[in-house]
A and B are shown apart, each in its own frame.
Chain A
Amino acid sequence: MTSEVLASQDTQLRRPEPSSGSRRRRVRRIVKAVRMIPLAPAILIMITFLAGPIIWSIYGSFTNASLTGVNASNPEWIGFENYVNLVNDPVFPLSLWLTAIFTFGSAVISQNILGLGLALLMQKANKKVTASVGTIIVSAWILPEIVAAFVCYAYFSDDGTLNQILANFGMTGPNWLYSFPMFAIILANLWRGTAFSMMVYQAALNDVPPEITEAAMIDGAGGSKRLLHVTIPMIKNTIVTNTMLISLLTLSVFTLIYVMTAGGPGNDSTTLPILAYKEAFRFSNIGYGTAIATVMLIIGAIFSVVYIRALRPQKD
Chain B
Amino acid sequence: MKKRAAIALSAFAIGGLLAISGCAGTNAPAEGDDKVLKVAYIKTDAFTALDTLFQTVKADFESANEGVTVELQPIAATDDDYKTKLALSQRSAETAPDIFYEDTTALRADADAGYLLNLDDYVSEWEDWGQFTDAAKEAGKGDDGSIYAVSLGTDTRAVWYSKPVFEAAGIALPWEPKTWDEVMDAARTIKASSPDVVPFNFYAGTGTGEGSNMQGFYQLLYGTELGGDSLYDSETSKWVTGSQGFIDSLAFVDELYSEELALTPAQALDPNIWKSVFGEMFPNATLGATIEGSYTPSFWQTGGSYEWPEYVDDMGATVFPTQDGQEPGGVSMSGGWTLAVGAKTADPQLAFDFMAMALSKDNSLTYVNENSQIAVREDVAADASYVAANPFVQAVTDIVAVTHFRPATSDYNQISAEVQKANEAVITDKATPEEAAAAYDKAIEGIVGAEGVIQK
User: Do residues A283 and B413 form an inter-chain contact, with CB atoms below 8 A?
Assistant: yes
User: Do residues A68 and B106 form an inter-chain contact, with CB atoms below 8 A?
Assistant: yes
Chain B residue numbers with a CB within 8 Å of A179 are 266
- A179 vs B112: C-alpha distance in the bound complex, in angstroms? 42
Q: Is B133 an interface residue (CB 8 A)?
A: no
Chain A residue numbers with a CB within 8 Å of B413 are 282-284
User: Do residues B425 and A68 form an inter-chain contact, with CB atoms below 8 A?
Assistant: no
- Most central of B10, B91, B205, B206 by chain A CB within 10 Å: B206
Which residues of B in the span 418-456 have a Cβ within 8 Å of any Cβ on A? Answer: 421, 424-425, 428, 430, 446
Chain A residue numbers with a CB within 8 Å of B84 are 67, 281-282, 284
Q: How far is the CB of B451 from chain A (nearest CB, A)?
A: 16
Chain A residue numbers with a CB within 8 Å of B10 are 37-38
Chain B residue numbers with a CB within 8 Å of A158 are 266
Which residues of A in the span 171-187 have a Cβ within 8 Å of any Cβ on B? Answer: 175, 178-179
User: Do residues A38 and B114 form an inter-chain contact, with CB atoms below 8 A?
Assistant: no
Q: Is B88 an interface residue (CB 8 A)?
A: yes
Q: How far is the CB of B12 from chain A (nearest CB, A)?
A: 8
- A178 vs B110: C-alpha distance in the bound complex, in angstroms? 35
- Residue from A45, A72, A266, A285 in contact with B113 in the complex, judged by beta carbons closer than 8 Å: A72
User: Do residues B269 and A67 form an inter-chain contact, with CB atoms below 8 A?
Assistant: no
B1-15 interface code vs A (CB 8 A; 1 in, 0 out): 000001001100100
Q: Is A41 an interface residue (CB 8 A)?
A: yes
Q: Is A127 an interface residue (CB 8 A)?
A: no
Q: Is A35 an interface residue (CB 8 A)?
A: yes
Q: How far is the CB of B429 from chain A (nearest CB, A)?
A: 11
- Most central of B17, B115, B266 by chain A CB within 10 Å: B266
A70-107 interface code vs B (CB 8 A; 1 in, 0 out): 11110000000000010010000000000000000000
User: Do residues A266 and B421 form an inter-chain contact, with CB atoms below 8 A?
Assistant: yes
Q: How far is the CB of B2 from chain A (nearest CB, A)?
A: 9
Q: How far is the CB of B271 from chain A (nearest CB, A)?
A: 7
Q: Is B281 an interface residue (CB 8 A)?
A: no
User: Do residues B6 and A283 form an inter-chain contact, with CB atoms below 8 A?
Assistant: no
Chain A residue numbers with a CB within 8 Å of B271 are 262
Q: How far is the CB of B411 from chain A (nearest CB, A)?
A: 8
User: Do residues A38 and B13 form an inter-chain contact, with CB atoms below 8 A?
Assistant: yes
A135-178 interface code vs B (CB 8 A; 1 in, 0 out): 00000000000000000000000100000000000000001001
Which residues of B in the span 88-112 have a Cβ within 8 Å of any Cβ on A? Answer: 88, 91, 106, 109-110, 112
Which residues of A in the span 273-288 have a Cβ within 8 Å of any Cβ on B? Answer: 281-285
Q: How far is the CB of A266 from chain B (nearest CB, A)?
A: 6
- A122 vs B159: C-alpha distance in the bound complex, in angstroms? 62
- Most central of B80, B113, B207, B414 by chain A CB within 10 Å: B113
Q: Is B189 an interface residue (CB 8 A)?
A: no
User: Do residues A41 and B16 form an inter-chain contact, with CB atoms below 8 A?
Assistant: yes
User: Do residues A69 and B109 form an inter-chain contact, with CB atoms below 8 A?
Assistant: yes
Tally chain A residues at the interface, Cβ within 8 Å: 31
User: Do residues B16 and A68 form an inter-chain contact, with CB atoms below 8 A?
Assistant: no
Q: How far is the CB of B23 from chain A (nearest CB, A)?
A: 14
User: Do residues A69 and B410 form an inter-chain contact, with CB atoms below 8 A?
Assistant: yes
User: Do residues A283 and B417 form an inter-chain contact, with CB atoms below 8 A?
Assistant: yes
- A38 vs B15: C-alpha distance in the bound complex, in angstroms? 12
Chain B residue numbers with a CB within 8 Å of A88 are 446
Which residues of B in the span 204-225 have a Cβ within 8 Å of any Cβ on A? Answer: 205-207
Q: Is B87 an interface residue (CB 8 A)?
A: yes
Chain B residue numbers with a CB within 8 Å of A35 are 6
- A142 vs B113: C-alpha distance in the bound complex, in angstroms? 42
Chain A residue numbers with a CB within 8 Å of B269 are 178, 264-265
Q: Is A1 an interface residue (CB 8 A)?
A: no
B252-295 interface code vs A (CB 8 A; 1 in, 0 out): 00000000000001100101000000000000000000000000
Chain A residue numbers with a CB within 8 Å of B265 are 178, 265
Q: How far is the CB of A275 from chain B (nearest CB, A)?
A: 13
User: Do residues A72 and B206 form an inter-chain contact, with CB atoms below 8 A?
Assistant: no
Q: Is A5 an interface residue (CB 8 A)?
A: no
User: Do residues B87 and A38 form an inter-chain contact, with CB atoms below 8 A?
Assistant: no
Chain B residue numbers with a CB within 8 Å of A68 are 87, 106, 109-110, 112-113, 115, 410
User: Do residues B421 and A38 form an inter-chain contact, with CB atoms below 8 A?
Assistant: no
Chain A residue numbers with a CB within 8 Å of B88 are 67, 281
Q: Is A13 an interface residue (CB 8 A)?
A: no
- A38 vs B9: C-alpha distance in the bound complex, in angstroms? 6
Chain A residue numbers with a CB within 8 Å of B446 are 85, 88
Chain A residue numbers with a CB within 8 Å of B106 are 68
Closest to A73 in B: B114
Chain A residue numbers with a CB within 8 Å of B417 are 282-283
Additional A-B contact list (7), CB under 8 Å, known A68-B115, A88-B446: A40-B13, A67-B87, A72-B112, A266-B430, A283-B414, A283-B417, A284-B87
Residues of B whose CB lies within 8 Å of any CB of A are 6, 9-10, 13, 16-17, 80, 84, 87-88, 91, 106, 109-110, 112-115, 205-207, 265-266, 269, 271, 410, 413-414, 417, 421, 424-425, 428, 430, 446
Q: Would you mind naming 28 contact pairs between A and B with Cβ atoms under 8 Å apart? A: A35-B6, A37-B10, A38-B9, A38-B10, A38-B13, A41-B13, A41-B17, A66-B410, A67-B88, A68-B87, A68-B106, A68-B115, A68-B410, A69-B109, A70-B112, A72-B112, A73-B113, A88-B446, A179-B266, A266-B421, A266-B428, A281-B88, A282-B84, A283-B413, A284-B84, A284-B109, A284-B413, A285-B414
The 7 A-B pairs at the shortest CB distance, nearest first, are namely A69-B410, A72-B113, A41-B13, A38-B9, A178-B266, A68-B109, A69-B109
